[in-house]
Amino acid sequence: MNKGVDDFLPLLKKPINCSRVKTEIVEDIYFCLGHDERGAFVSVVDKDMKEIQVDYHSYSGDIFNVLRSLDTISQKDYLQFQWNGIPSRIYLGEHSYLLYQLIRCHNLRNVKGQALCLASLVAKPCLYIHKVDNGLMSVFVLQADETDFNDFHFLSDSFVLAGTTIYPVESVGENYMQLRFFESVFKEDMLETYFSILFSYLQNIDVVYDDYEVEYSETEIQTSPMLVFEKVDEDKALYLHVTYTLAGTDMLVAERFDLIWKASVGVDRKILLKRIIRQPLESSADRLHKMILQYAPDKQTKKDVYREGNFFIVPEAAAGPFLLHALPSLLKDFVLLGAENLCEYKVKFVRPKLNVSFSSGVDFLEGEATLDFGEETVSLQQVMSQFRKQRYVVLSDGNRAIFDEGYMRRLERIFNRNKNAKRVTVSFFDLPEMEELLNERLEGEAFVRHRRVYEGFNNLSALKLKLPSLNAELRPYQYEGVKWIKYLYENKLGGCLADDMGLGKTLQTIAMLASIYPKIKKPTLLVMPRSLLFNWQCEIERFAPQLSVYTYYGNMRNLPEAMKSQLVLTSYAMVRNDVEQLCKERFHYVILDESQNIKNINSQTTQAILLLQAEHRLALSGTPIENNLTELYSLFRFLNPAMFDSLEEFNRRYTYPIQKDNDKEVMMSLRKKIYPFMLRRLKKDVLTELPDRIEQTLFVEMTKEQADFYEQRRSYYYQQVKQTIAEEGIQKSQFVMFQALNELRRIASVPESLSDGRITSAKLEVLSEAVSEAVLNGHKVVIFFNYIAGIELVGELLDNAGIDFVSMTGSTRDRQSLVKRFQTDPHCKVFLMTLKTGGVGLNLTAADTVFLFEPWWNKAAEEQAVNRLHRIGQTSKVLSYSMITMKSIEEKICLLQQKKADLLAGLIGNDASSVKSLSEEDIDYILG
């Protein structure tokens, strides 16, 4: 007969009734190993194999030692027990420690009276699965000494009795007594379920099934909490419980079996096992309990809510409001079962089907959208209106339709754009997600161009591009980058080339510009930090000297003259100052280098950039997002203005769910939306020939004077910040918070600047020794600082040590000559600079050692700094040292940033970003 999954469940043990019995002394006794439905047992028998009663005081040697081991009866006069009137058998499953003494005895017998011996070779249990007429049949065989045994019994998890020999085996686990339950006939469609249970219950079992191989995957899968509505009783009380389910697994199997592995049988003839990570149900049940009580109308109803572990009985007064108002949000995290039992409450769980009909448009498609709720169709505007008010939709039959709140949020992100109550609009950039919701391709002229554009991204690798004349040979990834930029250009779409630092974003951009000039007559405006103007001039002259360039900066600001050139270079400050003149011109292309300079949407610089008029737009940045998601909004407001609505709407739809609620679904939605328009490659992936980069943290202990000073100010600011938050709230306390954080950072790094030189930085001595040693060994060193005071202090140390150096701050004018001297002068050994000044755009490959004197708020800034050295052209291994003051804010900043770095890592595919905004919990962590 075909067995179901219940046949794999362990048998229940029968109850045991025991009583002592006195007996006479027996001269010849043996130990007998046997097996019954309760497992392997040992009994004491006479020479005729009859079970006997024994007075253990009469014997010694091996027998005495074994009997003494029976700890439950070792202090009693007589050993013999009875079980339901049958002479006792001591079961090894309950006293497994006996086996290791028994196998040393010389008087072991099997139930036939044959002497037993211990094999020296390890045997192997093997499961054979054969195809039979009505499915599959599984049989266990013990492979030992080139012999296959069908008749064998496990004495423990590590020893098997076959014939007259005890074989050691690799432990099959504590469920060894259940092995025979897996000998069964079952249907082939149960194979994955069978293997999931088998490998969860047993280990070190070889499986022979055709030519399939068992493979353990490093991928883990997680269970999901499931809410089961059991029934509604005659008093309309709701019975429900919380359990868990596993995607791709029958619910009954997931609930009844304590699975450890999930098996899948692939077409590659592999039985792939993935470890199951079980989410604790207690937290899910606690959350459910809290929400049920939240909707109870009074104290008495709250008392009437019954809970036992994960099981609940909810009275009608609380069940009704709970089902209507709480479940839409729970649907995001819980799988539901038994929703059909809720008809008493006129609650209906549905998966609405989206229908759309659109006409053509340029940036937006306009038309109608409806949702099907089974036999009833409702306009999308009506659904949104009702859902906002009551979180459910009332159907014509009186039923209240409840569905996943996450689904509703997706609809709002796509369609909530038109004030016209009868029409909806959809952005070109939301088309992929809309088709995903529809689960079908949209047909009609309105969608032909849009789909062609998106599908074109997938075909770029096969596209052949004729490169312009350049004094450089592009690397393969740079060639692909130019193709991507050109594709965006041809489709009038903006994008951000977000390659890692040092991968040649400038060269890729110059190649693109050389491909469109001189055919294009209007100029391109390139905006960058002031420190990069000279670098861009040199790079254009080096790689594409045929391009005419005008640098619009300082006294050289003749706009009519500039517009005669093909390329106009200027700084962000110049755009801000001369925005009235610049915004009147129509540029062919506007390109932003280090585009993080427009990260603040409300700044004057960003607002000026957004006023520039151009047919095409491009951004370059190794760190497109440094602190938070609003920077992403600002960037794409420049690149593709139609992609997002207002900042308020962007925050409601994306920022708050992602940063406050850690909503993975919303993050993936945002990532899919921006993915085609942001190209990012990492050095470790494309520059395999680049020398290694070794990172090390130098922990420095504060002096007693420094530690006392630090603790005094920390305590003061902690109280002040807490008081300000209590009086004015977290938002209005930002200034005093960052004032506190800034002062504590200075004390941890350069206390001299706040103590009139009385307290010395503990970092200076460590840095001085490390730099002196590096210079002595022929290395060039770059040191980045946050505070100018640090540059001054280290400069004095270098002067006293006779080490030649250059330094650069925000007030330095001729920066390029300093860079050139450091790169070419063998006597100039050290470069001191602030990170904001030298963290971007510089090529410092003459150095191979870098020190970060203080940690920064985000790792992206540190990456930028180190990548001044670790980039194309570097031939030596780069050593990077981060200096951290122990037991200070610096340690806590590093840990906090590591904790928060995951947020934006999932968005742009790297882990260089972090969140600077601090919650009250963060403040307690840092200052407390």
- DSSP labels for 219-287? EEEE-EEEEEEEEE-TT-PEEEEEEEE-TTS-HHHHHHS--SEEEEE-TTSEEEEEEEEPPPHHHHHHH
Mean pLDDT of the chain: 81
pLDDT top residue among 594 and 860 = 594
Kindly state whether residue 358 falls inside one of the protein's structural domains. yes
Q: Which of 387, 421, 456 is the last residue of a domain?
A: 456
Q: Tell me: do 50 and 95 sit in the same domain.
A: yes
What is d(CA 631, CA 496) in angstroms, rounded to the nearest whole number?
13
> Residue 705: inside a domain, yes or no?
yes
Specify the residue for token string 């082939």.
188
CATH classification of the domain holding 522: 3.40.50.10810
Q: Of 456, 484, 513, which residue constitutes the final position of a domain? A: 456
pLDDT of residue 726: 80
Q: Which residues contact 603 (CB under 8 A, 6 or more apart)?
A: none
Higher pLDDT, residue 224 or 316:
316
Give the per-residue pLDDT at 417.
Answer: 57
pLDDT tens digit sequence for 145-175: 788 899 899 988 999 999 899 999 999 998 8
630 and 729 share a domain?
no
Is residue 10 over pLDDT 60?
no
Confidence of residue 79 (pLDDT cuts 50, 70, 90): very low
Q: Tokens representing 433?
A: 């997600």
Mean predicted confidence (pLDDT) in 405-424:
75
Inside any domain, residue 8 = no
Judged against a pLDDT cut of 60, whether residue 620 lies above it is answered with: yes
Domain match, 376 and 292 both: no
* pLDDT average, residue stretch 166-194: 89
Residues 391 and 430 in one domain: yes
Q: What average pLDDT does this structure show over 437-454?
A: 71
Please check the confidence at residue 518 and state whether its pLDDT lies above 80.
yes
pLDDT for the residue 357: 79
Q: How many helices (H) and strands (E) does the chain have?
A: 34, 43
Residues 324, 285, single domain; the answer is: yes
pLDDT of residue 839: 60
Average of per-residue pLDDT across 300-315: 93
Report the range out of 141-150, 540-549, 720-729 with the highest average pLDDT: 540-549
Q: Residue 699 domain-assigned?
A: yes
| Predicted local confidence at residue 544, as pLDDT | 94
Cα–Cα nearest to 747, from 762, 737, 733: 762
675 shares its domain with 710: no
- Highest-confidence segment of 286-295, 719-728, 813-822: 286-295
Q: Indicate if the pLDDT at residue 750 is higher than 80.
A: yes
Provide the phi-psi class of 820: left if phi over 0, else alpha when psi is between -120 and 50, else beta: alpha
pLDDT band at 83 (very low <50, low <70, confident <90, very high): very low
| Same domain flag for 335 and 375 | no
Per the model's pLDDT, the better-predicted residue between 563 and 410 turns out to be: 563
pLDDT range class, residue 445, cuts 50, 70, 90: low
State the average pLDDT over residues 76-99.
Answer: 57
Among 59-68, 312-321, 658-667, name the one with the lowest average pLDDT: 59-68
In tens, the pLDDT along 381-411 reads 888 888 888 888 888 888 888 887 788 888 8
Examine the pLDDT at 74 and tell me if it is beyond 80.
Answer: no
Token output for 550: 């005008």
Domain assignment present for residue 649? The answer is yes
Residue 52's pLDDT band (boundaries 50, 70, 90)?
Answer: low
* Inside any domain, residue 101: yes
Co-location of 658 and 724 in the same domain? no
pLDDT value at residue 927: 67
691: cis peptide before it, omega within 30°?
A: no
Pair of tokens at residue 859: 């790792």
Mean pLDDT of 118-124: 90
872 and 729 housed in the same domain:
yes
Could you tell me the pLDDT band of residue 568, with boundaries at 50, 70 and 90? very high
pLDDT per residue as tens digits for the range 600-618: 999 999 999 999 999 999 9
Stronger pLDDT, 250 or 508, i.e. the higher one: 508
CATH number at residue 727: 3.40.50.300
24: pLDDT strictly greater than 70: no
Percent of the chain at pLDDT exceeding 70: 85
Q: Verify that 486 and 441 share a domain, yes or no.
A: no
Does residue 172 lie in a domain region? no
Q: Is residue 908 predicted with pLDDT exceeding 60? A: no
* Arithmetic mean of pLDDT, 90-119: 81
Claim to verify: residue 677 and residue 751 sit in the same structural domain = no
- How large is the average pLDDT for residues 541-560? 92
* Calculated CA dihedral for residues 681, 687, 692, 695, nearest 10 degrees: -10
Regarding predicted confidence, which is higher, 285 or 327?
285
Q: Residue 12's pLDDT band (boundaries 50, 70, 90)?
A: very low
- At residue 665, the pLDDT reads 82
Give the range among 112-116, 552-556, 826-830, 912-916 with minimum mean pLDDT.
912-916
Greater pLDDT, 68 or 316: 316
Do 67 and 110 have their domain in common?
yes
For residue 282, CA distances in Å to 258, 266, 279 come to 16, 35, 9
Listed in sequence order, the residues at least 6 apart from 416 whose beta carbon sits closer than 8 Å to its beta carbon are 384, 649
pLDDT tens, residue by residue, 241-261: 998 887 767 766 766 777 888
Residue-wise pLDDT tens digits, 872-886: 777 788 888 888 888
Q: What is the pLDDT of residue 565?
A: 95
Expressed as residue numbers, the domain containing 825 is 693-927
> How many domains are contained in the chain?
5
Higher pLDDT, 16 or 496: 496
What is the average per-residue pLDDT within 866-870?
Answer: 79
pLDDT of residue 901: 52
